[in-house]
Amino acid sequence: MTDIFELFQRIGGTGKASAAPVTHLIVGLGNPGKEYVGTRHNVGFDAVTALAEALGVRIDRSKHSALIAEALIGDTRVLLMLPQTYMNLSGEAVADAARFYKIPPERILVFCDDISFAPGIIRIRRKGSHGGHNGLRSIVERLGSSDFPRVKIGVGQKPLGWDLADWVLGRLPDTDRDAVRARHADMTEAARLIVSGRIDDAMMRYSK
């Protein structure tokens, strides 16, 4: 029975990781605390939490100033991370884990919100500037590199006259929240492809 279970686990690419070393870091950006649950800024948290559920793990261990979990994507051992430093200091947790596991920027995948796109739209980028996003800015500064892939999750453009902080810290309306959640499966599959070295395929299939 154990051999059959292990076979199914290997085929599915899910479950807790083996003794193989962690080679990739997957980060969901957001703010800790109940008051930020459901906000636009926390869709990165939500996406990586959904990924963890698909991989059969819970992100509930505290290390590197973050909540973390280890999982397998195919034969690749990854560290899933939700920084607990608040958005503007996200780079502290990311850089600490990257140093500990000796993970280069190109193997760090970041999920974050983006006000340039409507809810339900995602854009996958191989690398790029922080674009004014404070979480990405912190990661770039602490890593000393912007050469990490990211999945940008649309949360809607800021209405004219709104303060940016008020907008991203506001809660998504039900229809917008549902539009984002409807893409979680696509984000999970995109993560699988990116970790396997097929980011071009992920971009073609899921950047829409």
Q: Is 33 exposed, middle or buried (0-12, 13-18, 19+ CB in 10 A)?
A: exposed
- Interatomic CA distance for residues 16 and 195, integer angstroms: 16
The answer to whether the CB of 73 falls within 8 A of the CB of 18 is: no
Residue 157 is classified by DSSP as P
Task: Please state the rounded mean pLDDT for residues 198-204.
Answer: 98
Per-residue pLDDT of 43-81, as tens digits, reads 999 999 999 999 999 999 999 999 999 999 999 999 999
- Rounded CA separation 171/92 (Å): 26
- Condensed to tens digits (0 to 9), the pLDDT of residues 114-156 reads 999 999 999 999 999 999 999 999 999 999 999 999 999 999 9
pLDDT score for 78: 98
Summarize pLDDT for 79-128 with one digit per residue, the tens. Answer: 999 999 999 999 999 999 999 999 999 999 999 999 999 999 999 999 99
**DSSP 3-state assignment of 56?**
coil
Alpha carbons 73 and 206: distance in angstroms, whole number: 18
Identify how many contiguous H helices and E strands the chain contains and give both numbers.
Answer: 8, 7
> In the chain, pLDDT over 70 holds for what percent of residues?
91
Tokens of 24: 């990739």
Would you please indicate which residues are annotated as catalytic (active-site) residues? 41
CA 188, CA 52: separation in Å to the nearest integer? 9
Q: Is 173 exposed, middle or buried (0-12, 13-18, 19+ CB in 10 A)?
A: exposed
Answer CATH for 2-206 from 3.30.1300.10, 3.40.50.2300, 3.20.20.70, 3.40.50.1470: 3.40.50.1470
